[in-house]
Structure formats: structure tokens, C-alpha cells
Amino acid sequence: MVTRMSTTVIREIDNTSNDPRQRPVLITQGADFGPITDSVSAVAEAARPPKIWYVAMGISLCLTGILGASVGYLIWMGTGIWGLQVPVAWGYAIVNFVFWVGIGHAGTLISAILFLFRQKWRTSINRFAEAMTIFAVICAGMFPGIHVGRVWFEYWMFPIPNYLNLWPQFRSPLLWDVFAVSTYMTVSLLFWYVGMVPDLATFRDRSKTRLRQVMYGIFALGWRGSSRQWHRYEVAYLILAALATPLVLSVHSIVSFDFAVSILPGWHTTIFPPYFVAGAIFSGFAMVMTLAIPARAMFNLKHIITLRHLENMNKIMLVTGMMVGYAYSIEFFIAWYSGNPAEAFAFINRAFGPYAWAYWTMVSCNVLSPQVFWFKWCRTSIPVMFVISILINIGMWFERFVIVASSLSRDFLPSSWGYYIPTRWDVLTFAGSFGLFMTLFLLFCRYLPMVAMAEVKSVLPQAGRHPGHGQYWGEITPEENGEDRP
Amino acid sequence: MRHPADISGESRRLDALAPKLMGMAGGVGLLGLIISVALAFMTEDGVRRAYHAYMVNFCYFLSISLGGLFFTLIQHLSRAGWSVVVRRLSEAVGANTLVMLVLFIPILLGMHHLFPWTSAELLQNDPVLQWKQPYLNAPFFLIRCAVYFGVWCGLSYFLLKRSLDQDASRDPKITLSMERMSAPGLIAFAITLTFASFDFLMSRDYHWFSTIFGVYFFAGSFLSFMAILPVILLFLKSNGRLRHAVSAEHYHDIGKLLFAMNVFWAYIAFSQFMLIWYANLPEETGWYHRRITGDWLNLSYALLFGHFIIPFLGLIGRVSKRRLRLLTPWAVWVLAMHWLDLYWLAMPEYWLRVEGAPVGTIPFSLLDLSTFLGIGGIWVAVLALWLRDHSLIPEGDPRLAESLAFENA
């Protein structure tokens, strides 16, 4: 299928001007309703995805296969195949759980909190960030699920009335996690889907085959685009945003409770809830960046996900990176200030003990590496931001590893100290979870509207705001931005 | 987006209001301070009590001023358009950190009463205090305070001064310079505010520690600024100022931030309490134990309901945010609760390490009111002083038109 957009060459246009007299354009080329629909739909309507998509899919499926094999072997053998040994009874599984839940925070932050803050630039990235959120939460939910060992008793996690009168421990934050994460999953899914309905209807209307018409038609829920439907849609979206906003904070706060309600030095500290939330947003944005950079190139969307969008995300990473750095420093200071020798030891041990290599990896990746974003040329250089985003992903995984391993391996009783070494099954399961994540993401890119077309259109200058006779407040015409009309 | 509000015929200066306000507020302030001094010397243990009351109210007005500074910083950093019409007010409130510097002198005079860690006798007998001595000692405390006030006064004066320059020159480059200053400014702000809260409030019980404490103080600080903004606006409006420039659209956003920060405060307060309660370590629970003993428990409940649940219900709707006459009473309520919060943070330690102290009683005193009027009066008078010769909105801001046309669409 030949699309109209394919004739236009998409170029990288610098729209990162900071001139306070005018707001820069967010869509740099073909900034009109029709071309936006064309370029987003082209991804799903093309007869074949780009070759690189097949390569990525191939790798992802291999990794997913590895995940399936590792989980199968785990269920067959039991958690003994992992490197868990007392005193470190929480190893990779919990680290990976927190890592993936954290990544799942950017989507809802972008679609809910940035929506409430009227950040128009979020419209180009919110859809696939939300999709990423859902896939990350799926990966996250899997780890505690398989960690319980006897997966056939999974339903014991839920408070189901039973003849043994056996109930889960309501005072345990692990149970609160079950509720928090499943609520988050439900609301995120709902948010993602509700936002997608108008775009699914667009796909349905453009369908050339019966199958596509029926499939997109079912999920478009009879959307006709009447003003009454739009009105209700926008009310629903606002309410969902308001409901999702506290969830962005609550989920990772409760995840942090898993550690902080204990009395283990290095785990029990009051700053954990906001610190974990900041870290989650930090890692989530890094993952959005890691995915957005190849995706915009692969699917020809550089004019919709522009340099300005990427620059804004880099700024958020710089801010949240420093929030995390703030938490690290305050923890360290209070560990000394508290005058509690166990507390002080835990932190000295983190920085200079057997896990010092992990600690300094974490500090360099999370606190030092984003500092390059103080420079505009780094914020607008694609290779630099791609590398930094991957470093942040690594650093944030190590953050959770440091918290789990360093505190558990050396607790109050020196005779029981140990050193946690993961086995190959730990590593393979973790690597496999990336396969699952990427497979789902690639399928999403290929078959669903990966950019919220309707929302992007609403931030175009011509979207109905005409004060002062053709003069747009805060927007400039494409010509002024040095762009030639297609 | 609508047309920008027409402000050509608008009264955008305090004019005659300024001397009146400065005279009245300044008078109340001086009177309050004189009464406080008189009460301090006339009542039993009055001096110690007066310093404590002064401390609560000092922290109260300091937190509002810091909230104003933070608001200005974050508006520049996010290049906000909607808030331009109220930014001059936040700049002036932030610049009041300068008057807080002057009002800090009594705290230094009363250090021995306010900070038991200054006592040499305690130092000798308390190994925990000996451990903390490299941090908790008077010279280092003074150096830190100099840094805090240096950062706050320097930043807020810079932001006010540059913005006033822009009124005359209309130079958009000034906006860029303020934006550039705001990024490192925010970092300096975060560090100084955190350690100031440790020093002024947390170290009052020098055994206690909480890593979230700086965030807690920040939450209250930004909240209290969002609450005082509608009060200032209502005052200006009812005196015929800024009738068109600031509209229901702006109140709506102010109300949203007020609501959001109130919830954020509750989130932080809950996080701190829940973790300490759950872990139940004696080194941490002592601080809360004082606050749930005797009458203090009632005050803690008052905070739970009055600071969170009641304003949560009151501010959640759209109407109460868009009508200044509905928003302001809620803002005043939140300001009152913020005062109670600071009282709850600072005052229970009044009885700490006092022989034969009536544990569990709240030492309410007339001094709480008189020092409030004293500091508050001077604070308002200086606020009027900043605004006396200038416009109440940043006239030269390149985003002023955007702010005047702003609409919650």
C-alpha cells in the first residue's frame, strides 16, 4: 500500500529555540490534520514493516523463548536454580520486579500528570509511553509471580474466602503490592485504551481489507466522532487522568514500603517513598528515550517526535536524576547524623564494601551521566542522549540491586554474612524479560496507532484557536520556523 | 484561547494603598513585638516561652517566603505562560526572605533556649550528641545559616530586580537570564531548604532524625505560598487593583496547585509517620510519641482532618477553585492549618528534658499570637515596600500577553 507521506522526505528540523517571545512549533513538517493521520497510519498500513523490524522481532522472540524456557525450568525445579541463599533471600526477582515497575511509571506520568500540567509536547509521545508502561508492568508482575515457587497456589495472594479460613497477611506490604500493582495495571490499561478509541476508529475507516475493518471496528466501540462523543471522551479522559495521577505516586511508594517498613539498615528510611517515585520516573523516561530514538527513525516520525520532545525528556531526566542524587546524599548524611552504628555501617559498606563496584556503577550512571544534559548540544544530540538513556537504565537496575543485595548480605549478625552471586538462570530470566517486553512493543508499533493522532492534532496552531485575526498566541507559522510547506 | 484581557484602564499599582498598608501592618508588627517582649518578662519562664513562640512564627513566615521563591524559580524553569500575571507577587513574597534575615537575629539570641544541643553540660553526658558534635555546634550552625540566607536573599533579590528591570526595558533577554539562573538556583534552594529544616526544626530534638524531613518542610512551604496567593489577590481586587489581569482562569490554576500541594503534604506526612510507626524503633518513635501523648493527640488528629481531609473535600470541586471568594476562605483555612503544623513540629520539644514538665499538655500562650502579629505585621509591611513603586504584574514579560489570554481549555 502506497501512502501519501512516503513522497515527503522527513528531515530533522531544529525546533529547540528558547526565544521567550514565541512558542516553537511542536510538529515540524506537514503540520496539518491530513498529513499527521497519513504518517502515523502509514506504519500500520504499510504492506510490510521495515526490514529492521523483522530483525528486532527475531531477536525479541529468541529472548522470549529463553524466558519461557527459564521459567519452565524454574517451575519444574523450584527456586533453588536461582542464586538465592540466606542471608540474601531476595535476589534478582525482586530487583527485576522493582526495575520493571519503575519503568512502567513514565507512561502514566506523561499521559496523566503532564496532561494536568498542560504540557502539549506530551501528545507526540504519550501513546507509546503508555503502551510501554503496560508491557513493563506485565514483565514486573511476572517476577513475584514466579518467585513464589509453587505458582499453582498463586491465588493465595488474593483474599479469597476459603474453608481453611486462611488469609493473606494484610499487614505485609507484599500484599499491598498485589493491590497497588493490579490497580495500576487496570487504570493504565483503561487510560491507554480510552485514549486510543478515536485513533482506532481512524484506522477502521481507512481499512482496505475486511479483516482490518472488523478488528479495528470492534475495538473502536462504534466511535463516530460526533461532538457529543468528543465531549464525553474528553470528560472521561480528564477523570481518568485525575485518578491515575495519585496512582503514579502510590504504586512506587508501596513498592518502597516493601523495603522501608522493615528495620534493616539501608532499607528503613523515611525518604524511600518519594525517592522511589522520582527514580521510577527517571528510569521510565530513560526507557521511553531508548525506545523513541529508534522508533522515530524506523517509522519515519521525526517530524512528530521532534528534537524538542527529546530535549524536554532529557531535561526531565536531568531533574529526576538529581532528585535521586539528592536522596542518595540525604540517606548518607542521615546515616551518619543518626548516630546509629548499624545505619552508618550499612552505608559505608555500600560505598566501600564488597558491592562497591555496584554502588559506584549506580552513582556514575544515575547521578553523574545525566549531568551532560546541562549542555544544549548534549540535549539535542541523538547519539549522546541514546547512550545516556541506556546508562540510566543500567544505573537504575543497579540501584535496586545495591539496595537489595548490599543491605541483605551484611545485616546485624556478622557470622551470617554472605555474598550474593546470581546463577545463569537468574541472568537468563532477566534477559528474557526484555524479549517479552520488546516483542509486545514491536507488535504494538506495527498494529496500533503508536502516536495519539487526535491529540497531536489538538496542539496544532490551526486547531481552533483564532484570536487576534490570524495571529496565534504562542505559536508561529511554519515559514517563520524555516520550514517549506510540502 | 480567548483574547488577552484588556488592562489599559487597569489599576496595576498599589499607589496610595502602599503607605497605608505599610503604616498599619508595620504598626501592628511593632506592637506585637513590644507586647511579646513585655509578656516574656512578665510571665514565669516567659523568655524561653517567647523564643519558642517566636521560632514557630519565624518558621511560618520563612516557609511562606521560601514558597514564593520556589514558585518564581519553577515558573522560569518551566517557561510557564499562565502564571506571568501573578509572578510579581511571588517575586515580592520571595524577596521577603531578606526581612526574614533581619528577623532571624532573635533566634540567634535565643539559641540556648531553642537548641538544647548548644548546652555544654548535655554534650558532656550524651554520647549521641558527642557523635553529632561536628555538625551540631554553634560556629558551624552560624556558617550554615549564613549560606542559607545568602542563597535565599541573593536568588530572590536577583529575580525581583531583573524582573523590575524588564518592566522598564522590555528586554526579552532578561527572561532568558532569569531562566538560566533558575536551574542552578533550584539546586541551591533544595539543598539549603533541606538543611535549614534539619537545623531549625529537626535538631530541636537532636536525637531524632528523618530523611524525608526536608521534603516535608518543602511541601508545607510551597503549600503555604499557594494559600497566601489568593489572599493577596482578594485584597488587591477588593481595593480595585488587577481587576481584569487576573481572572477566574488564574484562580483555577492556583486552586489546583493548592489542592495538589495539600495532597502532596499529606502524602509526605503519611509516608514519614507510617514508616516510623510500622518499624517501631525507639530511636525514631520518641518524636511521634510526644505528639500522640495527652492533648497533643488531639492536635495530631486536628492535622489529619483539618490539614488534609477537610480541605481535600473542600477544594476538590471546580467551583471552589474558580471563585476567589470561595477559594480565599479555603486558602485561609489551609494557612491556619499550616501554622498548626509548624506549631506541631516545633512546640512539643518545649517540654523535652525539662524536670517535672507537664508531659502531654500543649503550652498555648498569648505569646503565640503576639509574635505572630509581630512577625506577620512586619512581613506584610515589607511586602508592600517591595511593591510600592512598581507595577503589580511583570509589565515587560514577553509572555504577559499569553498569560492575559490564558484559559483552562
Q: How far is CA A318 from the centre of its chain?
A: 16
The answer to whether A311 faces chain B, any CB pair under 8 Å, is no
CB B235 within 8 A of CB B78: no
Closest chain A residue to B176, measured at CA: A20
Closest Cβ–Cβ partner in B2, B191, B275 for A467: B2
Global pTM reads: 0.94
pLDDT value at residue A480: 40
With CA atoms as reference, report the closest residue to A26 among A309, A316, A344: A309
Give B127→chain A minimum CA distance, Å.
9
Burial of residue A334 (number of CB atoms within 10 Å: 0-12, 13-18, 19+) = buried
pLDDT band at B386 (very low <50, low <70, confident <90, very high): very high
User: How far, in Å, are A23, A252, A465, B253 from residue B407 at the CA level?
Assistant: 16, 33, 11, 10
Contact B172 A20 (CB under 8 A): yes
The answer to whether A7 faces chain B, any CB pair under 8 Å, is no
* Chain B residues within 8 A of A374 when measuring between CB atoms: 183
Contact A261 B175 (CB under 8 A): no
Q: B398 — phi, psi (to 5°)? A: -65, -20
Contact B4 A262 (CB under 8 A): no
Secondary structure (H, E, C), chain A: CCCHHHHCCCCCCCCCCCCCCCCCCCCCCCCCHHHHHHHHHHHHHCCCCCHHHHHHHHHHHHHHHHHHHHHHHHHHHCHHHCCCECCECCCHHHHHHHHHHHHCCHHHHHHHHHHHCCCHHHHHCHHHHHHHHHHHHHHHHHHHHHHCCCHHHHHHHCCCCCCCCCCCCCCCHHHHHHHHHHHHHHHHHHHHHHHHHHHHHHHHHHCCCHHHHHHHHHHCCCCCCCHHHHHHHHHHHHHHHHHHHHHHHHHHHHHHHHHHCCCCCCCCCCCHHHHHHHHHHHHHHHHHHHHHHHHHHHCCCCCCCCHHHHHHHHHHHHHHHHHHHHHHHHHHHHHHHCCCHHHHHHHHHHHHCCCHHHHHHHHHHHHHHHHHHHCHHHHCCHHHHHHHHHHHHHHHHHHHHHHHHHHHHCCCCHHHCCCCCCCHHHHHHHHHHHHHHHHHHHHHHHHCCCCCHHHHHHCCCCCCCCCCCCCCCCCCCCHHHCCCCC
Give A259→chain B minimum CA distance, Å.
10
Q: Give B352's contacts (C-beta < 8 A, 6+ positions apart).
A: B116, B204, B205, B290
pLDDT value at residue A106: 84
With CA atoms as reference, report the closest residue to B64 among B218, B182, B256, B230: B218
CB B78 within 8 A of CB B395: no
Q: In this structure, what C-alpha cell is assigned to residue A279?
A: 527514580
The answer to whether A326 faces chain B, any CB pair under 8 Å, is yes
Give B120→chain A minimum CA distance, Å.
19
**HSE-CB for A2 with a 13 A CA cutoff:** 3
Closest chain A residue to B281, measured at CA: A263
Q: What is the CB neighbour count within 10 angstroms for residue A434? A: 17
Maximal C-alpha separation, chain A = 80
Secondary structure (3-state) at B13: strand
Tell me the C-alpha distance between B89 and B145, whole Å: 26
pLDDT value at residue A466: 52
Tell me the per-residue pLDDT of B327-376, one tens digit each, with 9 for 90 and over.
999 999 999 999 999 999 999 999 888 888 888 889 889 999 999 999 99
Looking at the DSSP bridge assignments, the partners of residue A88 are A85
The answer to whether A18 faces chain B, any CB pair under 8 Å, is yes
Q: How far is CA A61 from the centre of its chain?
A: 21
Give B278→chain A minimum CA distance, Å.
6
pLDDT value at residue A1: 41
CB A420 within 8 A of CB A88: yes
Closest Cβ–Cβ partner in A18, A21, A273 for B271: A273
Tell me the per-residue pLDDT of A365-409, one tens digit each, with 9 for 90 and over.
999 999 999 999 999 999 999 999 999 999 999 999 999 999 999
Tell me the per-residue pLDDT of A194-219, one tens digit each, with 9 for 90 and over.
999 999 999 999 999 999 999 999 99
Give A268→chain B minimum CA distance, Å.
8
Chain A 233-262, CB below 8 Å of chain B: which residues? 246, 249, 253, 257, 260-262
What share of chain B has pLDDT > 70, as a percent? 99
Contact A246 B263 (CB under 8 A): yes
With CA atoms as reference, report the closest residue to B164 among B78, B97, B88: B88
CB B327 within 8 A of CB B320: yes
* Chain A residues within 8 A of B277 when measuring between CB atoms: none
Residue segments in chain A with a per-residue pLDDT below the cut of 70: 1-8, 464-486
Contact B176 A18 (CB under 8 A): yes
Torsion of CA B173, B175, B177, B180, to 10 degrees: -130
Burial of residue A236 (number of CB atoms within 10 Å: 0-12, 13-18, 19+) = middle
Give A482→chain B minimum CA distance, Å.
21
Closest Cβ–Cβ partner in A20, A116, A465 for B398: A20
Does the pLDDT of residue B64 top 80, yes or no? yes
Contact A116 B256 (CB under 8 A): yes
pLDDT band at B1 (very low <50, low <70, confident <90, very high): low
Secondary structure (3-state) at B391: strand
Sign of CA dihedral A373, A377, A379, A382: negative
With CA atoms as reference, report the closest residue to B390 among B10, B125, B88, B24: B88
For residue B303, the 8-state DSSP code is: I
Q: Give A93's contacts (C-beta < 8 A, 6+ positions apart).
A: A82, A143, A144, A146, A147
Mean pLDDT of the residues in chain B: 94
Chain A 361-380, CB below 8 Å of chain B: which residues? 374
Does the pLDDT of residue B210 top 60, yes or no? yes
Domain boundaries, chain B: 17-404
Residue reference for cell 531477536: A59
Q: How far is CA B203 from the centre of its chain?
A: 19
Contact B401 A473 (CB under 8 A): yes
pLDDT value at residue A458: 87
Tell me the per-residue pLDDT of A38-84, one tens digit each, with 9 for 90 and over.
889 988 888 899 999 999 999 999 999 999 999 999 999 999 999 99
Tell me the per-residue pLDDT of B266-293, one tens digit each, with 9 for 90 and over.
999 999 999 999 999 999 999 999 999 9
Q: In this structure, what C-alpha cell is assigned to residue A332?
A: 548518607
Closest chain A residue to B199, measured at CA: A337
Q: A91 — phi, psi (to 5°)? A: -110, -125
* Chain A residues within 8 A of B402 when measuring between CB atoms: 23, 473-474
Tell me the C-alpha distance between A67 and A439, whole Å: 12
User: How far, in Å, are A16, A120, A274, B269 from residue A202 at the CA level?
Assistant: 31, 22, 40, 46
Tell me the per-residue pLDDT of B218-249, one tens digit each, with 9 for 90 and over.
999 999 999 999 999 999 999 999 988 999 99
pLDDT band at B69 (very low <50, low <70, confident <90, very high): very high
pLDDT value at residue A8: 61
Q: Give B364's contacts (C-beta < 8 A, 6+ positions apart).
A: none
Contact B281 A268 (CB under 8 A): yes
Looking at the DSSP bridge assignments, the partners of residue A85 are A88
Secondary structure (3-state) at B323: coil
Burial of residue A387 (number of CB atoms within 10 Å: 0-12, 13-18, 19+) = middle
Q: Give B121's contacts (C-beta < 8 A, 6+ positions apart).
A: none
Tell me the C-alpha distance between A307 and A314, whole Å: 10
The amino acid present at A459, given as its one-letter code, is V
Identify from B78, B275, B277, B404 which residue to disrupt to test chain A contact, counting A C-beta atoms within 10 A and taking the largest count.
B275
Closest chain B residue to A274, measured at CA: B268
Give A274→chain B minimum CA distance, Å.
8
Q: What is the CB neighbour count within 10 angstroms for residue A483? A: 19
Give B264→chain A minimum CA distance, Å.
9
pLDDT value at residue A407: 92
With CA atoms as reference, report the closest residue to A202 among A191, A190, A217, A188: A217
Is the peptide bond between B116 and the residue preceding it cis, with omega within 30 degrees of 0?
no
How many beta-carbon pairs under 8 angstroms link A with B? Answer: 98
Q: Give B23's contacts (C-beta < 8 A, 6+ positions apart).
A: none
Secondary structure (3-state) at B238: helix
Q: At what angle do helices A126-147 and A173-206 cross, to 10 degrees?
A: 140
pLDDT value at residue A190: 92
**HSE-CB for B215 with a 13 A CA cutoff:** 25
Tell me the C-alpha distance between B216 and B273, whole Å: 11
Maximal C-alpha separation, chain B = 70
Contact A249 B267 (CB under 8 A): yes
Tell me the per-residue pLDDT of B121-152, one tens digit each, with 9 for 90 and over.
989 999 999 999 999 999 999 999 999 999 99
Q: Give B341's contacts (C-beta < 8 A, 6+ positions apart).
A: B220, B265, B303, B307
CB A199 within 8 A of CB A45: no
The answer to whether A278 faces chain B, any CB pair under 8 Å, is no
With CA atoms as reference, report the closest residue to A314 among A396, A368, A372: A372
Tell me the C-alpha distance between B320 and B328, whole Å: 9
Tell me the C-alpha distance between B138 and B116, whole Å: 11
Tell me the C-alpha distance between A98 and A400, whole Å: 7
Looking at the DSSP bridge assignments, the partners of residue B391 are B13
